[in-house]
Structure 1
């Protein structure tokens, strides 16, 4: 039976801060834990959005392609989709959308996923160029991001909300990725002006946290000197 109340997370956003960017899980293994999600590749190789079991990568050139099973990741969230309708929105800004979701869902102290399908206007996304060892820190790598924009596009937003209590493991608040219906555009969602569409949510009672304990660099790193929450928030928002 698929565990639809479980969010599976490989790695943490905190481990990206000092540049622990080695791919420590394959896509094949990740997809054993869900059919929907987001993540990034080894060396922050683009932005990933997983829909209906198909993993799509948006690279630093803005190209979208489906990645193979041996594609490796340092960080990802995935779950088995079982979304429940929440509301219909018309002309909602990003801030309005997030505010309405929190007000209606009443899940501020839980992990949950958001799915929004519809027409987005003045939307901006980003993807980071892949770095090679020795890896840059998250802050350094984020400076190499490419920003993409569309005046109007239909597509799907997949995101996760994490409670403030778990800031650093994930990013507190919303972390969203986007993919156009025609797969011509996508990435980590920066902002949009408005959306007309359908909003659904899926709460999780369980967070299954998987750590890359076979990675020596991760095992030996001292996180005490890292500005984890500061760097995560600067890079992810």
Structure 2
């Protein structure tokens, strides 16, 4: 990697009550690239994204978006600074329409950018354009996943955090989510993707980090990880 670092995470410690979950986690994400954060269930992937987004505030460490320090800031301030977080459990507003869900997330980006509007979202997510009046609670799991990604993009973030976007979805929907992420990557969107499924990440990520028991244990390109059978067997094999 040799580009401009947009997100820098250093020495993050996170606790849930008295239990320490993350131990000095560090990551660097380059602008316009996709980083896959891989690990088994319970390894600390979701907690890492929650710590970056301010949902699980770190006890120690730094989170910088560009030159701005965000560790310890409130989640709404972190969102306004340019970090878009798509949670694992989707969290749509079930009684509201698809379009209302999108409008709830609408805001200009930290530099006033407004690329993502209803028009550009519907152009990039045509499935949502065809169900704009449908209540979000009546959508399938895959449709809700697309809606939550689109709603987050409506906030015009600098970087997109995706927590387990393929989990619990049918293979054909996982394929559609993968195509969507590839499309976003081609548009220059910077993405951190927390996943258990390395094979899902192979065609959509350039860089990889592996987390195990709250520690980052490996960093490389995704192809370097694919070739490292010792790391994949030790930390990713089911």
Same fold (TM > 0.5): no
Higher strand content, 1 or 2: 1
Higher helix content, 1 or 2: 2
Please indicate the TM-score interval, normalised by the length of the shorter structure: under 0.3
Instruction: State the TM-score, normalizing by the size of structure 2.
Output: 0.26
